[in-house]
Amino acid sequence: MTAFAVGLAALLAVACVIAVALPFLREPEATDDRLAEPDELDRRRLELAEERDRVLADLKELEFDHRTGKVSDEDYRALVGPLRARAASALRALEPRAQASNLPRSAAMSEPFPAPAPAPEPFPQPDEGDPPQPPTIPDPEPPPEPFPPPDEGEPGVSRNIR
């Protein structure tokens, strides 16, 4: 075995030992050696966050499917109400105090929503990537529809639940 090979082998061995020992070398006495793990509260929050994202994405996709004609008017009317209710409760479950102060009272009581008029969605949309925002009061006149087609799993979308 050539000297080069021996040297390389030694180097490899040393490098591996260092790599493995690195965390211990960096923190010989770690104050907190605990591996972060989601506790019950975290898991619950994660579940709720996933549920919220899922419902909001469903809503967005429903709107888009309706717009493109995949979902008929009756189907849309039948589906959108319960979906909005679920969205409201999902948002509320995640940030109960923030919600209660901003939502109109009817939504906070999650009454069954009247079927919306056949005209499409009246609320402005944030861009994708914005974190979930509390719902805002809508404009009085029907604004134009600026919202983009749904992305897969669109995040928090501001919704006014009327």
Partner 1 sequence: MPELGRAALVVCLGLALYALFAGGFAAFTRRRRLAVSAQNALIAAFGAAAVASGVLLSALLRNDFSFQYVADHTSIELPTAYTISAFWGGQEGSLLLWLLVLTGFSATAVALNRRVGRDLLAWAVPVLGLVAVFFSFMLVAVSSPFATQAAPPDGAGLNPSLQNPYMMVHPPLLYLGFVGLTVPFAFAMGALLARRSDEAWIVSTRRWTLAAWTFLGVGQLLGAHWAYVEVGWGGYYAWDPVENAALMPWLAATAFLHSVMIQEKRGMLKVWNVLLVVGAFALALFGTFLTRSGIVSSIHSFTESSIGAWFLGFIVLVLAGSLFLVLTRLPLLRAKTRLESLVSREATFLYNNLLLVALCLTILWGVVFPILSEAVRGEQITVGAPYYNFFLKAFGLPLLLLMGIGPLIAWRRASLRSLGRSFIWPAGAALVAGATLLAFGAGSSPAGLIAYTFAAFVLGSIVYEFVRGTRARRALGGGSWLSAFNGLVARNRRRYGGYVVHASIVLLAIGVTGSSAYDTVRQQKLRPGETMAVRDYRLTYRDLEVRQGTNAEELRAHLDVERDGKSLGSIQAGKNDYRAEDQVSNEVGIRSDKLTLEDLFVIAEQVEPTSDQAIHFRVLVKPLVNLIWIAGLVFLAGALVAMWPSLAEQRRLAERYRELRAPARA
Q: Which is nearer to partner 1, 109 or 127 (CB)?
A: 127
> Which letter, b or e, does each residue of 43-76 get, where b requires 16 or more Cβ atoms within 10 Å of its Cβ?
eeeeebbebbbebbbbbbbbbbbbeeeebeeeeb
Stretch that binds partner 1, among 45-53, 96-104, 105-113, 135-143 (CB under 8 A): 45-53
Look up residue 137 and give its DSSP letter: P
Q: Which of 3, 34, 109, 114 binds partner 1 (CB under 8 A)?
A: 34
Token pair belonging to 74: 């009756």
Stretch that binds partner 1, among 46-54, 98-106, 107-115, 135-143 (CB under 8 A): 46-54
Does 111 participate in binding partner 1 (rule CB under 8 A)? no
Q: Which of 84, 91, 150, 159 binds partner 1 (CB under 8 A)?
A: 150
Closest approach of Cβ 134 to partner 1, in Å? 16
Q: How far is CA 41 from CA 47, 56, 80, 99, 120, in A?
A: 10, 22, 30, 19, 38
Q: Taking CB under 8 A as the criterion, which residues in 51-110 touch partner 1? A: 53-54, 57-58, 61-62, 64-65, 67-72, 74-75, 79
Q: How far apart are the first and last CA of the chain?
A: 80
Rounded to whole angstroms, the Cα distance separating 126 from 116 reads: 21
Closest approach of Cβ 30 to partner 1, in Å? 6
Closest approach of Cβ 74 to partner 1, in Å? 7
What is the Cα 96 distance to its own chain's centre? 16
